[in-house]
Chain A
Amino acid sequence: MSPALQPTEEMSLRIQELAGNLKIRDVMTRKVFAVTRHCTMRDVQTIMKNNAISGVPVVDDRHVIGLISVHDIMNAYEQEWMADAVADHMTTGVRTLAEEQPLSIAMSAFSKFPYRRFPVVNRNNELTGMVTLRNINMALIQELSRQLDAMETEGGRISPATSSETFIFYRVYRIARYDFEAGGKASAELREQLQARGISPKIIRRAAVACYELEINIIAHSFGGTLTLYVDKDRVRITANDFGPGIPDIEEAMTEGFSTATDWIRSQGFGAGMGLPNTKRLSDEFAIQSGIDMGTMVKAIIHLNPQEKQPDENE
């Protein structure tokens, strides 16, 4: 069995939260094609072809002793080993995951090791399933949709105020990739909410612009995601979460002028490489986390209390 793995630090907190309740057992593929050591490389190739899979574990009395990947097959083809037994050419020392482990362990295994699949074993070390990144993505998207449905039902409601000074506005927006037409919905509502509460125009502008930049970021740079607004009497909290692809170098992304935008995004007036730096400058508190293939989370907080020091937006 693999040594104990810890979830990676860069992994978005939101994703960890999502994965929190799931175990590897809940997401793995249970229908596994495995071969014994005496099967030939050609047998494995046939199994791969007929079932559209790219990795076949080799077992001995249900214990994983090796793995054959497409790469191994290509190599065997080149070396004319196709009639040989798999035991001669399989990858040994295969890392397995335990079905009882939390999903976050599988996620960190994928970011730590170059493998595209892991065999999953039970307490007796017997093969019970396989897990790929696709399994994980599907499970996370399902879990996220479930949570979103729950949040959308609750969202937008002014919760019963504990005192007359307390107000709360809470809403979750789903944002689709490249849907520039929809950009600005959250910021327009935020602005209305703050105007209705008599917040100073300068602070409203900071909050609305920060919100708009984050909306556009999800539209232009992610596969889609959500933006959550939370307003109480002291502050606005804007949280942007997306489903990937993640930011390889956050420091670079935070540099004014750096952009990965395509010409089409630029033709929409965006992609100047100012979105994240603008948002940070406008916010009293700012945090960003990103994981490759997992997503990005940005949190921006703007204080509504005018006595507090405010960043100068034209600095």
Chain B
Amino acid sequence: MKTSELKFQGLECVQLTDNEITGGYTSDLLSDVMAHLTEGDALITIQAHKNTVAVASLTGASAVIFCHGRNVSLDVIETAAKEKIALFVSSGSQYETTVALANALDR
């Protein structure tokens, strides 16, 4: 599924780069993300800062979804644009967002 096609309730896109989302990985520990995220996954996390984008970029994530409606600062958005990673904010929790992404990918 293309990042541009990703839609579910409470999801808002803040930076669109059209990548292919092939799966998802949910974690707030960046070392854990680096060890386990598979290329093409969307990263679901509450860590809304630049390091998260750096880690997403290193691991080849297609998108980052920040949960609980976190505010995303401009420098985070700019870094994501530079690294060609799509950014979303979800109003739901990590669990709710993970379920919503899984359902969206299932369709």
Most buried by A among B34, B49, B51, B55: B34
A184, A205, A213: which contacts B31 (Cβ < 8 A)? A213
B19-63 to A contact mask, C-beta < 8 Å, 1/0: 000000000111110111001000001010111101101111000
- Closest chain-B Cβ to A273's Cβ sits at a distance in Å of 8
B35, B45, B54: which contacts A188 (Cβ < 8 A)? B54
**Number of A-B pairs whose CB atoms are under 8 Å?**
65
B82 nearest CB neighbor, chain A only: A188
B51 touches A269 (CB 8 A): yes
Interface of A is mostly: helix
Within 8 A of B (CB), among A260-315: 268-270, 272, 274-275, 278, 281, 313-314
A12 contacts B by Cβ under 8 Å: no
A179-220 to B contact mask, C-beta < 8 Å, 1/0: 011011001100100000000010001001100110010000
Most buried by B among A183, A191, A269, A314: A269
B54 touches A272 (CB 8 A): no
A184 nearest CB neighbor, chain B only: B54
Whole-angstrom CA separation of A208 from B59 in the bound complex: 9
B47 touches A269 (CB 8 A): yes
A183 touches B29 (CB 8 A): no
Number of interface residues of A (CB under 8 A): 24
B58 touches A272 (CB 8 A): no
Chain A residues near B35 (CB, 8 Å)? 209, 274, 278, 281, 313-314
B59 touches A205 (CB 8 A): yes
With A183-B51, A209-B59: A269-B30 Cβ-Cβ less than 8 Å: yes
B36 nearest CB neighbor, chain A only: A314
Whole-angstrom CA separation of A213 from B29 in the bound complex: 12
B54 nearest CB neighbor, chain A only: A184
A275 touches B54 (CB 8 A): no
Q: A213-B31, A275-B31 are in contact. List 7 more A-B contacts (CB 8 A).
A: A180-B51, A184-B51, A187-B54, A205-B58, A209-B59, A269-B45, A269-B47
The interface of chain A, by Cβ under 8 A from chain B, is 180-181, 183-184, 187-188, 191, 201, 205, 208-209, 212-213, 216, 268-270, 272, 274-275, 278, 281, 313-314
- Sample of 7 A–B contacts (CB below 8 Å): A205-B39, A213-B31, A216-B51, A269-B30, A269-B47, A269-B52, A278-B31
